[in-house]
Structure 1
Amino acid sequence: MANSKNILNEKLRVINIGTSKFKDDLDLQQVESVQYDWRPPAGGNAQVIEALDSLKNINKIEAANQEVIKIIKEAHPFLIDIDQAINVIPNMHKKLILHAGPPINWERMAGPVKGAIAGALMYEGLASNEKEAEELASSGEIEFAPAHHYNAVGPMAGIISASMPVHIVENRIHGNKTFCTVNEGLGKVLRFGANSQEVLDRLSWIEKTFAPALKKALALTDGIDLKSITSQALHMGDECHNRNKAATSLFYREISDYFLQTDLTKEEVRDVTRFIRENDHYFLNLSMPASKSALDAAQGVKYSTVVTTMARNGVEFGIRISGLGNEKWFTAPANYIKGMFFPGYTQEDAAPDLGDSTITETMGIGGFAMAASPAIVQFVGGDVEDAIHYSEQMYEITVGENSNYSIPNLNFRGGAYGIDILKVIDTNILPVINTGMAHKEAGIGQIGAGIVHPPFECFEKAFIAFMETYKEEIR
């Protein structure tokens, strides 16, 4: 009783649970308070909570997830070659256009994606102007498919057409190959929906000058070790999604001498090396297929609840799960990115979340590794403490820690990886993604960068499907 009297005489400290509106009022009255952002498990979805409660044989799931993260960690991607998509991507053909994110038809596509497709059709010589390209795209004569269905990935609009050169990345531990186009640089570029003559000329130069030169240089190598570059870059201030300065520099150092050993003229060497040197985002288009090569190898492990794909097409966000197969996407409307806008632009100008580059977060880098990249906050907003917090929080929804990709600012702790839908559902914590923002209209380009999360609904749908698939074996 004496203790109770003492408590009543002490200064009150308020813990506000749930909505922050009450805390805002307390702040106005200068009352000390702490905000606790509590939400019911599974977002209060009764069907999902019931399914969670029915889980009995968790050992099968845990064993499968350990197998998945072992595969991902052991994967060793190398850049081995570059060639036109039609020559190396299985089943690629002249009238097939690959795009970012889950499946979508022409009528529903976002503005930047339609603009990029029109540019690709003009680049391929299938249309002479944008109007003809749009008519052809809507005619049913052109086939559209997710790049992910063809072992490929693409940033932003993610467009890959037959003649475009693609990096060829080989996972030498598991033997699978993945593909990604060459990063065009900044400004008016196809990946943001631009399709002017300037854009088409650059694509032609990449195809006819840059790619043949890089092919000659790569032929002299035993492959460029992308896993090693990523690991080093994380110790040099990159997170290998939106910040690739160190990784691009490391790649430039690796490849430059091989360019000098080819039969290229001095001027040709200067042109192709300058293209890499002046594009800090060059490595993004290597980081993405390197990540995909590891995650693809881990696809199809029975009972696994680990996410192997996160991707968005500017309309929908989609995920795929190791234990549920390649063809099953779980989608929901894509969110808008919150962050920093370039001068003259606002949220009203932005397209919803877009691109395959979230394959880096799925791997455990990108937004998951922001603690390794304090400078990224100058690009996406927030402060250094936010970057560290995001990385620390991701350990709560992942299966393991990847010592190959350690984070100096977390005392060299291995980065969080192996997103587990069960943990996302249980904690209500969503994967963090840092990303660029595209204008909603084709051709205007990037208008900012920031932070975004997948829709919770994707994980609810995946979990319900998982429980239906394995209901007799895990309940």
Structure 2
Amino acid sequence: MTPALLGREPVVITVGAEPLGEALDAQAVPRVPVAWRPPMAGTAAALDTVLADPRRERANALAVDRMTSARPQLVGVRPAREVLGLTPGAFLHAGPPITWERASGPMRGALVGAMLLEGLARDPQDAERRLAAGEASLEPCHHHRTVGPMAGVVSPSMWMFEVRDAEHGGVAYCSLNEGLGKVLRYGAYGPEVLERLRWMGAVLGPVLAAALARSGPVDLRALTSQALQMGDELHNRNRAATSLLVREIAPAVVEASPEHAAEVLRFINGNDHFFLNPGMAACKVSADAARGVPGSSMVVAMARNGTDFGIQVSGLGDRWFTGPAGVPDGLYLGAYGPDDANPDIGDSTITETAGLGGFAMAAAPAIVRFVGGDVSDATAATRSMYEITLAEHPAYQIPGLGFRGTPVGIDVALVARTGLLPVVNTGIAGRVAGTGQVGAGLVSPPASAFTEALAALADAVDRGSQDR
């Protein structure tokens, strides 16, 4: 064997040592690079326990199958007080649980705006005083089968998209999208914000409800699949999806409400992100179908409240695992810069949870003009996510990758073993209440959320072993 080996040109395998690899490349030495990374620090024992759990493989296969087989359909638009049972002074918000005392600027601004919208305060100062005194109740949207972009504040008078899963029977809700700039979800609460919200409650919501009652359900799974073929990634780029949705409902809007059809269609047409909200509800109902599988290490929710970033795991119930929300790195509007940015905020990371958004950026090369980087970065981001996910989505495919399915089913064990964190693209809210949007970019979740979830999974395995 030795003479044969010496008679061939040697090939060097490099593992993680890029300076050595670059030196070999400079000398034209053939090499095979292996992209290996050590596991996250302090996770070795928990990883051994979780990976050895005999339930894990089957549980994860079941969880990801439930998520990818969901068939979300937009079936209606209804008031929050009706579908969520919200009463005056009860508000939902994005992300894990938070109090007024810990709330960031945009979260506080959105809550102030909601107080004014509901007639619970005379002015912003009165609203702040009442919120600080505990005169409003705050609960996460996720605790009520709901998701909300950015601050995600939902109040009783707001109208909600209602999305049902025709496969598993679940339901999820999301508010209507206001557009960009100074809007409530970014923490703005000026007169123009409240006027728009009142119009949405008086006109937009009822018209859409009447149109969907006439047209019947809209297949959001099929629409999302088509939008991916047209250059959307369904988080920060929804232009194709919004256009497709308008095509679906426009005739029914005209038939159901001819006196308001022009203003409603004009509003939707001027808002390329209009589809984001029903799309988020579609992702929520899909992820919820995968909840509650014992032994599963798959993530079923990622969410931020502007202070904390939290995840939930299929096999660990409704428990949140959190860490500090990071400030996105991206492009800023006008004279705004990093000093104006609030830490990451919003439930819209439910799109990444379901295999879209940052996980599908290879399908949307134009997204780099919004969040920064170049086309190769977008492709590399998607490719890297296959390393921490359990499957490829059978319906959500990327033309630029040979129609490969988007990476879906984040596994906390794979995150810990590879050291790779989920890629999230997001809007950036101004840190001062009332500012609105200041930019868009990319952000990484805190590693601690995943390592804590892994430790909890290991504890659950150990307890189960003791019980047996």
| Smaller-chain TM-score bracket | over 0.9
Q: For residue 377 of structure 1, what is the aligned residue in structure 2?
A: 368
Distance in 1, matches of 2:393 and 2:15, equals 36
Q: How far does residue 442 in structure 1 lie from its aligned partner after superposition?
A: 1.3
Q: For residue 335 of structure 1, what is the aligned residue in structure 2?
A: 326
Which whole-Å deviations, capped at 9, do the CAs of 1:408-429 have from their partners, x for residues lacking one?
A: 0110011110100110010111
Distance in 1, matches of 2:269 and 2:79, equals 23
Which whole-Å deviations, capped at 9, do the CAs of 1:76-124 have from their partners, x for residues lacking one?
A: 11111111101011x4221111110000100000000000100000000
Distance in 1, matches of 2:27 and 2:293, equals 52
Q: For residue 86 of structure 1, what is the aligned residue in structure 2?
A: 81
For the pair 1:66 / 2:51, whether they are aligned, the reply is no
For the pair 1:367 / 2:358, whether they are aligned, the reply is yes
Q: For residue 50 of structure 1, what is the aligned residue in structure 2?
A: 45
Other structure's SS at 2:326 match: coil
Which whole-Å deviations, capped at 9, do the CAs of 1:375-406 have from their partners, x for residues lacking one?
A: 00111111111111111111111111112001
Q: How far does residue 260 in structure 1 lie from its aligned partner after superposition?
A: 1.9
Aligned AA (2:44):
I
Aligned residues: 462
Which whole-Å deviations, capped at 9, do the CAs of 1:183-221 have from their partners, x for residues lacking one?
A: 001121001111011100000000001111111111112
State how 1:85-164 maps to structure 2 within 5 Å.
85-89=80-84, 91-164=85-158
Q: For residue 322 of structure 1, what is the aligned residue in structure 2?
A: 314
Q: How far does residue 162 in structure 1 lie from its aligned partner after superposition?
A: 0.6
Distance in 2, matches of 1:32 and 1:82, equals 63
Say which of 235, 239, 242 aligns to 2:229.
235
Q: For residue 297 of structure 2, what is the aligned residue in structure 1?
A: 305
Q: How far does residue 53 in structure 1 lie from its aligned partner after superposition?
A: 2.5
Root-mean-square deviation (CA, aligned residues, Å) is 2.7
Q: For residue 217 of structure 1, what is the aligned residue in structure 2?
A: 211
Q: How far does residue 177 in structure 1 lie from its aligned partner after superposition?
A: 1.2
Other structure's SS at 2:452 match: helix
Say which of 250, 253, 257 aligns to 2:251.
257
For the pair 1:289 / 2:281, whether they are aligned, the reply is yes
Distance in 2, matches of 1:298 and 1:79, equals 20
Residue pair 2:51, 2:413 contacting (<8 A) in 1 also: no
Aligned AA (1:397):
I
For the pair 1:387 / 2:378, whether they are aligned, the reply is yes
- Structure 1 unaligned spans of 5+: none
Q: How far does residue 264 in structure 1 lie from its aligned partner after superposition?
A: 2.9
Aligned AA (2:402):
N
Residue pair 1:57, 1:474 contacting (<8 A) in 2 also: no
Other structure's SS at 1:308 match: strand
Residue pair 1:398, 1:418 contacting (<8 A) in 2 also: yes
Q: How far does residue 473 in structure 1 lie from its aligned partner after superposition?
A: 4.2
Say which of 377, 386, 391 aligns to 1:400.
391
Distance in 1, matches of 2:444 and 2:55, equals 29
Q: For residue 338 of structure 2, what is the aligned residue in structure 1?
A: 347
For the structure 1 residues 55 and 294, does the alpha-carbon distance in structure 2 shift closer, same or farther, using more than 3 Å as the test? closer
Q: How far does residue 369 in structure 1 lie from its aligned partner after superposition?
A: 0.4
Aligned AA (1:40):
P
Residue pair 2:429, 2:438 contacting (<8 A) in 1 also: yes
For the pair 1:422 / 2:450, whether they are aligned, the reply is no
For the pair 1:435 / 2:429, whether they are aligned, the reply is no
Q: For residue 207 of structure 1, what is the aligned residue in structure 2?
A: 201
Distance in 1, matches of 2:106 and 2:451, equals 29
- Structure 2 unaligned spans of 5+: none
Aligned AA (2:132):
S
For the pair 1:413 / 2:390, whether they are aligned, the reply is no
Q: How far does residue 130 in structure 1 lie from its aligned partner after superposition?
A: 0.2
For the structure 1 residues 15 and 63, does the alpha-carbon distance in structure 2 shift closer, same or farther, using more than 3 Å as the test? closer
Residue pair 2:53, 2:461 contacting (<8 A) in 1 also: no
Aligned AA (1:174):
H
For the structure 1 residues 263 and 200, does the alpha-carbon distance in structure 2 shift closer, same or farther, using more than 3 Å as the test? closer
Q: For residue 226 of structure 1, what is the aligned residue in structure 2?
A: 220
Aligned AA (1:114):
R
* Higher mean displacement: 216-225 or 357-366: 216-225
For the structure 1 residues 263 and 252, does the alpha-carbon distance in structure 2 shift closer, same or farther, using more than 3 Å as the test? closer
For the structure 1 residues 276 and 388, does the alpha-carbon distance in structure 2 shift closer, same or farther, using more than 3 Å as the test? same
Say which of 171, 180, 187 aligns to 2:174.
180
